[in-house]
Chain A
Amino acid sequence: MDVVGVVDGVTEGFDGFFAAAEPRLRRALVARYGLDRGREATAEALAWGFEHWDRLRAMANPTGYLYRVGCTKARGRRRRVLFEAPPTPGEPEVEPGLADALTRLSANQRAAVVLVKGYGWELHEVAELTGSSVSTVNTHVRRGLAKLRTELGVEP
C-alpha cells in the first residue's frame, strides 16, 4: 500500500509537467534525430524524468535537462534515414524532397529550423531548451533556412 501511495503521489506531480513538456521535447528531438530515434529519445528522457521526478521538479529548467538526457539517450543509435519518404509520393501536403533536405542540415540547424519556422517558437525558447545562446540559435535558423530554401526552391 505504501508503494502504491508513493507512486500515485509522484504521478500526480508528474502529470502536469508531462503534458506541457512532451510535445516540446518530442518536436525538438524528432527534428534533431528523426522520427523513430527522436520519439524513442523523447520516451527515454521522460521515463528518466519520471524515475527522477523528485530531482527534476527542483530544477530551474527541467525540460531543458530532459532535452539533454534525450540527446544522450539518442547517441549510439545512428540511422541514415531520419525521415522516411512520404507514404504517397506526390501527396500535396508533403514535399517529397523535404526529408532529404532536412537530413542534409546539421542536427542543430534542423532542430532550430523546425522549431522556429515550423512551430513558431521564439529564438529564446529554443535557446532555453537546447542550452544555446539566442545568437547561436539565430545563426542555425538563418543558415538552415537558406539551405532549405535553395534546395527546395522556396519562394520568399
Chain B
Amino acid sequence: MNDDELSDRLRRLVERAQPVELDEVMHRRPARGGHLLVVALAGVAVLALVAGAVALLRIDRRDAAPITTDPPATTVPALGDVPAVWYDARGLHHGDVVEQTPVEIGQQVGGDSIRGALALVRSGAVYLDPATGDVWFHPWGGEPRIVGHNSAAGPGGDPNGDTAAWFEGTELVVYDTAIGREISRTEERGNIDGGGPFLGGDHYPAGNGFLQVSAERVVWTNPGPYSHDLRTGRTSEVRVPEGRYLADLHDDVELLGQNGALVLRAPGRPERRYPHLESHTRLSPSGNFVLAVEGTEERHAAAIVDTRTGELWRVPRNVYPWIAWSYGDIALVDHTEDAFLACDAARRACERLHPDRPFLLPTN
C-alpha cells in the first residue's frame, strides 16, 4: 500500500458510518443522560479517565521572556511551580499544560473580548458554560463534570481550598469539589444575577461578584455585600463605614473604596489610604497582596501593595491593564495590545506569556 492508497482507505473506513439525516436530528431530543451518567460514574471512573485525560493534554512550552522590572525586581523567571491559569481558543491553560474543556467557557461579546466566569479551587477550575448556564468542575488532569445548572453569573472559588459557590436563581449553592457534593443551598435575598462585573467592567476582564469563597463563608457583592456563614447557615450584610464601599476582602483584610481612593484595612495595623490607587482592585488568594490600578497624570498601570507592610510595587509597563490573580501570589496583568504578564508579587518578577486573544482570566 502506498500513501495515496492509505488516504483512500481511511476515507472509506470512516464513510462506513451512515450520514445523519436532518429528520433524525429534528425528531430526536438530546439525551441528557450523557451528563447524568458522567456525574453518576465520576467517582468510580475518575482514576481510569485520568490516564485518558492526561493523554489529551497538550503541552505549551513557549519561552517565557523575563522583562525589565522596577528595582528591586529580580529577572529570574517569575512563576516557579505556581501555575498561571487562563482560557483561550487553545483551551484551559494551567501552567505549561493546556486542557480541553467540554464546552466553550468564553463567550465572544465583541471583536476582542469574551465574557465568562472562570474560578479556581485548589484541585481544579470551576467555570460557567455561558450557553447553557451549567457550572462545570474541571479537576486538573481529570474529567470535567457538571455540578450545577441555571447559573446566570457563574461560580466563585477558593484557590486555597475545595469550596466553590454560585447562584441558581435566588439560591446560593455551595459545593465541595473534594467530596463531590453540595454542602449548602440557601435562599438569599440578594443574588448575583449576571449583571455588573460579569458583563465586563473597567480593569476586570470578566468575572462576577464573589469576593471570597472559603470553607467558612461566602461573601459576594452586586448587590450587597453579603456574607453567608457556612457554620451557622446565616447570611448577614457586611457593614461598611459611611461613605465607603467594599471593593474586596480576604478574611480580616479589607479593601474599601472612598472618593476615588483605596483604603486598606488589615488587623493589627493602622489603616492605609492610597489616593492614587483606583478602587478596581483584587486581593490575592493569600490575602497578602493587593492588585490595583494606579492612576496619576504620569501613570495608569498596575500596581501591587503588600498588605503586611503597605509597600507598593509598580508593575512594569505604563499601560492600561486588565487584572486578575491566579494561584498563590501570581498576578495576571494584561496590557491588551502590548503584553500579558504573570508576576510573582512576593519576588517582584514578571514573565511574559503568550495567550491567544481574546482570552479569559480567573475571577479571583
Contacts and interface: CB of A to CB of B under 8 A. Distances in A.
B100 interface: yes
Interface string B3-16: 10111111111101
Interface string B23-65: 0111011110011011001000100000000011010100000
B179 interface: no
Contacts of B60: 133
B356 to A, nearest CB: 8
A118 B26 contact: no
Contacts of B18: 39
Contacts of A94: 9, 12-13
A42 B146 CA distance: 21
Nearest to A95: B9
B103 interface: yes
Interface in B75-117: 89-91, 100-104, 108
B3 A72 contact: no
B19 interface: yes
A27 B18 CA distance: 10
A39 B2 contact: no
A99 B58 CA distance: 25
Contacts of A2: none
A149 B1 CA distance: 9
A42 B24 CA distance: 11
Interface string A41-59: 0111011111110011001
B3 A156 contact: yes
Interface string A116-152: 0111100000000001110010000000000011001
B20 A39 contact: yes
Contacts of A60: 108
Contacts of A48: 30
Nearest to B2: A155
Contacts of B356: 133
Contact of B6 (A38, A44, A46, A152): A152
Contact of A27 (B9, B14, B102): B14
Given A99-B13, A131-B89, A18 B3 contact: no
Nearest to A27: B14
B34 A98 contact: no
Contact of B35 (A38, A51, A72): A72
B240 interface: no
Contacts of B89: 131
Interface in A7-36: 11, 14-15, 18, 22-23, 26-27, 30-31, 35-36
Nearest to B14: A30
B294 interface: no
A35 to B, nearest CB: 5
A117 B100 contact: no
Given A42-B20, A51-B29, A148 B13 contact: no
A20 B56 CA distance: 27
Contact of A43 (B14, B16, B24): B24
B34 A75 contact: yes
A47 B34 CA distance: 13
Given A15-B22, A39-B18, A76-B37, A47 B9 contact: no
Contacts of B1: 95, 152-155
Nearest to A107: B56
Nearest to B28: A47
Nearest to B132: A52
Given A50-B26, A52-B131, A102 B13 contact: yes
Nearest to A133: B90
A80 B145 CA distance: 23
B22 A18 contact: yes
A43 B25 contact: yes
Most central of B5, B10, B28, B108 by chain A CB within 10 Å: B10
Contacts of B132: 52
Nearest to B25: A46
A69 B9 contact: no
Most central of B9, B30, B104, B356 by chain A CB within 10 Å: B30
A6 B191 CA distance: 33
B55 A106 contact: yes
Q: What are the 6 closest A-B residue pairs judged by CB atoms, nearest first?
A: A118-B10, A72-B102, A39-B17, A118-B11, A48-B30, A47-B28
Given A31-B14, A68-B104, 14 more contacts: A14-B22, A15-B22, A43-B20, A47-B30, A59-B104, A61-B104, A73-B30, A73-B31, A75-B34, A94-B9, A98-B9, A120-B7, A132-B58, A136-B58
12 contacts: A18-B22, A44-B31, A49-B25, A72-B38, A73-B31, A95-B5, A98-B13, A118-B11, A133-B60, A133-B90, A154-B2, A156-B2
